[in-house]
Structure 1
Amino acid sequence: MSRHPEVKWAERVDKVFITIQLPDAKSVKVHLEPAGALIFSATAGAENHEYELKLDLHDKVNVEESKINVGVRNIFCVVEKVEKAWWSKLLRGDAKPPHYIKVDWDKWVDEDEDTPGGGEMDFGGMDFSKFGDMGGFGQSPPMGDDEDDDLGDSDDEAAEEKKAGEATSKA
């Protein structure tokens, strides 16, 4: 009796990412049909269990442009769509997807975030060159010359001593 490997998927407007998670798979066979069928078989494990899978994808696919990579831990497929449109689901039909098919949240992008520019944010034409002196994440504020560093330290120490003196005189 064959088993089903865990499958993760994510989508873009022009392609679907399908990851078949099966470590140490042997005798891997992956066949993609233009009508949108992905057929997979392999053996894995110490006892060479048989794994099989047939996915009737939501729509037609471009077999020539699609890519399949068999790795040590998984089989990764980039399935190119014939029509560049979002699918309402991965599989054809109205049935609930099988329990072994899950969303790949690491690769998932929502429809409104899938832009040709790679998801870059639109800042409405703001000129960030004017913010150069403010410092930012991972940036230090502008510093003076090395000569000023010694003076800056003594000024800070004097201010701290003055505050400490005021605090004791009020007590």
Structure 2
Amino acid sequence: MSKVNTAPIKWAQRSDSLYITIALPDVKDASIVLADETLKFTGKSENKEYEVDIAFFKPVDANGSTYKVLPRSVQMHVMKKDKSEGEFWPRLLQDKNLEKNQVKVDWDRYVDEDEENEGFDTSALDGGMDMSSMMGGGMGGMGGMGGMGGMGGMDMEALMKQMGDMGGAGEMGEPDSDDEDEDIDDLPDLEPSPVD
């Protein structure tokens, strides 16, 4: 029997949900079982067997969650069970030691608790499987996500409006501007420095 490897996990959170990535490319034979307190995953990547068997720090809402197997990873948008608390978890797993060895923070999606102002960009999960319909297959993908897609659309609309308003305000990068977005655009692109 071949050795089963532990799949690497990255995670980020908002007050109402978790974004979990199983960072394996070209996953085949994926089996994902999300329960309110646990996540079990098995699959093959690059001819190796991988698994995840974790217990969450607090209960989640398996029925309101979605996932999608993408070319470079398996991504999941998992809703927290008790949204009324609106609190950030100190970690993903109940077991602190397991967390240290198996889980990393997804810095691409990370926000500080006091800076949270919108949900995750879940566009990569469009057309994904609703966790509650995993056994039945079908296209229930966005059903469990409720208003998240609409929220993202409204945010994009507001962003476009702001960008339109900025267009008539003059050249970008004026020294007396209070707009932080303009300051960011003035930064040069990072490039690797040549080795002497």
Report TM bin, short chain. 0.5 to 0.7
Aligned to 1:137: 172
Aligned to 1:41: 42
Between the aligned residues of both structures, percent identity stands at 34
Alignment: residue pair count: 125
Runs of 4+ in 1 over 2 A off after TM superposition: 93-96, 115-118, 131-136
Aligned 1:112-151 pairs, distance under 5 A: 112-115=114-117, 135-137=170-172
After TM superposition, the score normalised by the length of structure 2 is: 0.57
Aligned to 1:143: none
**1:72 partnered with 2:107:** no
Q: Give me the whole-angstrom Cα distance separating, in 2, the residues matched to 1:21 and 1:94.
A: 20
Task: Identify, as 1 or 2, the structure richer in helix.
Answer: 2
Aligned to 1:93: 95
Amino acid at match of 2:103: I
- Unaligned 5+ segments in structure 1 are 121-130, 140-171
2:104 aligned counterpart, secondary structure: strand
CA RMSD of aligned residues (A): 2.6
Q: Give me the whole-angstrom Cα distance separating, in 2, the residues matched to 1:7 and 1:17.
A: 10
String of CA shifts for 1:81-124, please: whole Å, max 9, x gaps: 01122111111134352433110001001110113599x9xxxx
- Unaligned 5+ segments in structure 2 are 120-150, 156-165, 175-196
Aligned to 1:111: 113
Q: CA deviation at 1:136?
A: 4.2
After TM superposition, the score normalised by the length of structure 1 is: 0.65
